[in-house]
Amino acid sequence: MVIHEDPPDKPTVSQVRLVPVSFEDPEFKSSFNQSFSLYVKYQMAIHQDPPDECGKTEFTRFLCNSPLEAGSLPDGPDCGYGSFHQQYWLDGKIIAVGVIDILPYCVSSVYLYYDPDYSFLSLGVYSALREIAFTRQLHQKSAPLSYYYMGFYIHSCPKMRYKWTKVAARSPTGCGCFTRKPSCPTASTRSSGRTQARRPPCCSTPAWWGSSAPSGCCSSETDNPLQGRPFYFDHQWLF
């Protein structure tokens, strides 16, 4: 399933393909070796994993074997439900793969691996924004599907910190955290024709933002209600 394809007059050809995680699916099967090679390159370069920890068995167990069963509902999205690899292609090769679960009420972002040669593109941020757009696209077909989950937020882990610093704080949406309020928006809201930052009544500015801190959640890293919690965008801020 091709989600996005640039016009043919562009100097490069890019695509985002949604592929069901199933060895019975022809597209998944035909791209498996290329996807696996990309995973090995990413794990070794970004996480410094040794080659013996990046085998096909580990890859399959980690990102291909899913407890979810593929299925569909009459009022559900055309792609159905289950686990998918969202492949980012550029000039005939895969440069990133986002592993996602599509469920009746949400899209859950599981993992992303990408070609380190394209690190300058900030593919982690780009893929998250693409997944938000994809969630909105699915919502048009299936109204109950209205949440986007980015997994857990752990501020001490730099590879997870981008979820806040580069996605939530810089996108026209919001985040959810389980503080004294059910949702904790960091979105911009329009007031008198101007865009102003909204400060949630349950939160204060994080100390770790420094002098350039935007309005956000939590007064310190040690007293951080987002730490180790599910990080999500809800329907009020996605749409």
pLDDT reported for residue 233: 56
Inside any domain, residue 153: no
Same domain, 98 and 137: yes
The first and second tokens of residue 6, run together, are: 């640039």
Instruction: Count how many domains the chain has.
Output: 2
Tell me, yes or no, whether 61 and 119 share the same domain: yes
Three-state SS at 149:
strand
How far are the Cα atoms of 9, 29, 214 from residue 169, in angstroms, in the given order?
A: 34, 38, 8
Task: Provide the pLDDT for residue 157.
Answer: 74
Residues 120 and 180 in one domain: no
Which pLDDT tens digits describe the chain residue by residue (239 residues)? 666 666 655 656 779 999 999 999 999 999 999 999 999 999 999 999 999 999 999 999 999 999 999 999 999 999 999 999 999 999 899 999 999 999 999 999 999 999 999 999 999 989 999 999 999 999 999 999 999 988 776 777 776 666 666 566 555 544 554 333 334 333 333 333 333 333 333 333 333 333 433 334 343 444 454 455 555 555 555 55
CA dihedral 132, 151, 184, 215 (to 10 degrees): -80
At 190 the pLDDT is: 30
Instruction: Identify whether residues 81 and 128 lie together within a single domain.
Output: yes
Q: Are residues 32 and 118 in the same domain?
A: yes
Beta strand pairing call for 93-102 and 82-90: antiparallel
Structural domain containing residue 205: 163-238
